[in-house]
């Protein structure tokens, strides 16, 4: 777990090991908001791991007319708005893209060109996860809960008023009192320091270093000095000393470079005692007019203002977010009522008379067992079977989606709830989202949310 925080004796599995705390707003919909935030966190796992991102607290913020998300101290706290001011839930994909925007602020606090490059990269990776149908790891994988349908059914309508800005800005804590900067040494002091570092505190006569002489003599300890300069011993010592000087010159160059860097920058860990953040402006104020404070009670400074609506990248992002809340196109045909395009074939079964289908489904399988429970006393010819009873007793209904063998009289799969016999289930409907396109999965008429992708029932079918 990042940030040096470790969770002990966890009561349940966490959706994202890089998000420490998930905090919804208290109220009647707290459990639904908790599940909403957990699913947002679960889908961000691959992106946060790949880019080494971490968030201390992911929180829900109350609906307002200014922003949908904001970031504090580069990921210490990320706040997301989950509802509109009318109380409807924002689309799930909409909030996911807002989360990508706020995670990009962990890398770049300001809305610069570099920030939009990071944000677009995160958004592209999220679209890849959508194509892979990735919703999380482990228990947070594909599937839909009853609480999921709560925000899908009560989702924001088309044209509903949304906050003016997507991002409410980035904030950081004011810096406290820091250590006083060390006085910069003049040229003479720097030279003395360099000589002291290279040659030591006390001078030394040449040729008196016994350890150095032993190295040049290849480990031999010779007390006397070479008397003749042209002797073999003298030549060997000069050659060994020259090689030693070459190595020493290399080390001196490295030391000189380090000293130049240190002289230019002074001390990298020393700062002035004054609070440098005083020049950044007044303390940040929340939407309710109260002063923003961090966990230590210090004021916060707004680093980045709200997004610029004239920026091309911001316009592209806003256009993409607005497309998430649109409903599928509806067309009307004479005599058939409102129909979803591409779903005309399933609706033809609605005109069938349900009374005509009751005898084969209810009476057929039940009557033959009653005749078999009373064995005849005399040998009788084989009983005559009705045309519909033989096939229902000799085979099972196999679901085309999950290939589960259901009971002969079943019209809905007991495993995946797929309606594999639409003639027996009136008002069944097929999901038109891109996740379910090309599949044979059909939902029952009383199902308000798709059992595969969680998309709510189209309005045209729901009002039929």
pLDDT in tens, 134-158: 888 877 776 555 455 565 666 666 6
Q: pLDDT tens digits, the chain, 464 residues: what are they?
A: 555 677 777 778 888 888 999 999 998 889 889 989 999 999 999 999 999 999 999 999 998 888 889 888 888 899 999 988 888 888 888 899 999 999 999 998 888 888 999 999 999 999 999 998 888 887 777 655 545 556 566 666 666 666 667 777 777 777 655 556 677 888 888 888 888 888 777 665 556 667 777 777 776 776 666 666 667 777 777 777 778 777 777 777 777 776 665 555 444 333 443 444 444 566 777 766 677 777 777 777 777 765 566 677 777 777 777 776 544 443 333 333 333 333 334 444 444 444 444 444 444 444 444 444 454 454 555 555 444 444 444 467 788 888 888 887 788 888 888 887 888 788 888 888 877 877 878 888 888 888 888 788 877 554 45
DSSP string for 317-370: HHHHHHHHTPPPPEEEETTTEEEETT-HHHHGGGGS-GGGGHIIIIITTTHHHH
**pTM here?**
0.49
**Reduced to 3 states, what is the DSSP secondary structure of residue 234?**
helix
pLDDT in tens, 169-188: 777 777 655 556 677 888 88
Instruction: Choose the catalytic residue: 38, 60, 102, 152.
Output: 102
How far apart (Å, rounded) are the C-alpha atoms in residues 302 and 306? 10
38 annotated active-site: no
Q: What backbone phi and psi angles, to 5 degrees, belong to 57?
A: -140, 125
Q: Collect all residues with Cβ–Cβ distance below 8 Å to 420 and sequence separation of at least 6.
A: 397, 399, 400, 401, 406, 411, 412, 413, 440, 442
């Amino acid at each position: 777990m990042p940030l040096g925080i470790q969770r002990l004796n966890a009561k349940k599995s966490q959706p994202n090991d890089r998000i420490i705390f998930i905090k919804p707003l208290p109220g009647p919909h707290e459990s639904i908001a908790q599940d909403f935030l957990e699913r947002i966190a679960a889908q961000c796992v691959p992106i946060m791991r790949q880019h080494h991102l971490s968030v201390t607290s992911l929180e829900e913020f109350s609906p307002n007319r200014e922003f949908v998300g904001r970031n504090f101290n580069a990921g210490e706290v990320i706040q997301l708005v989950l509802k509109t001011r009318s109380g409807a839930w924002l689309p799930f994909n909409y909030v996911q893209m807002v989360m990508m925007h706020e995670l990009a602020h962990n890398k770049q606090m300001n809305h610069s060109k570099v920030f939009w490059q990071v944000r677009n990269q995160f958004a592209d990776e999220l679209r890849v996860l959508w194509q892979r149908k990735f919703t999380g790891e482990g228990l947070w994988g594909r599937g839909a809960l009853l609480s999921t349908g709560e925000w899908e059914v009560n989702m924001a309508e088309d044209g509903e008023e949304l906050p003016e800005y997507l991002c409410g800005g980035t904030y950081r804590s004011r810096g406290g009192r820091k250590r006083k900067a060390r006085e910069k040494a003049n040229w003479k002091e720097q030279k003395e320091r360099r000589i002291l570092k290279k040659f030591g505190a006390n001078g030394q006569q040449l040729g008196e270093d016994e350890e150095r002489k032993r190295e040049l003599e290849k480990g031999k300890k010779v007390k006397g000095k070479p008397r003749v300069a042209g002797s073999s011993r003298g030549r060997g010592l000069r050659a060994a000393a020259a090689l030693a000087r070459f190595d020493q010159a290399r080390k001196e160059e490295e030391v000189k470079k380090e000293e130049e860097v240190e002289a230019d920058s002074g001390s990298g860990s020393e700062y002035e005692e004054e609070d440098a953040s005083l020049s950044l402006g007044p303390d940040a104020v929340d939407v309710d007019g109260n002063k923003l404070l961090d966990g230590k009670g210090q004021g916060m400074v707004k680093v980045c203002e709200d997004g610029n609506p004239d920026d091309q990248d911001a316009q592209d992002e806003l256009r993409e977010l607005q497309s998430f809340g649109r409903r599928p196109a509806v067309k009307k045909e004479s005599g058939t009522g409102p129909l979803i395009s591409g779903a005309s074939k399933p609706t033809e079964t609605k005109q069938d008379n349900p009374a005509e289908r009751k005898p084969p489904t209810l009476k057929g399988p039940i009557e033959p067992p009653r005749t078999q429970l009373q064995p005849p006393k005399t040998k009788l010819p084989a009983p005559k079977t009705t045309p519909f009873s033989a096939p229902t007793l000799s085979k099972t209904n196999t679901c085309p989606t999950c290939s589960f063998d259901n009971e002969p009289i079943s019209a809905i799969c007991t495993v995946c709830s797929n309606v594999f016999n639409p003639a027996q289930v009136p008002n069944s409907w097929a999901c038109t989202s891109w996740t379910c396109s090309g599949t044979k999965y059909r939902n029952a008429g009383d199902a308000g949310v798709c059992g595969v992708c969680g998309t709510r029932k189209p309005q045209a079918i729901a009002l039929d």
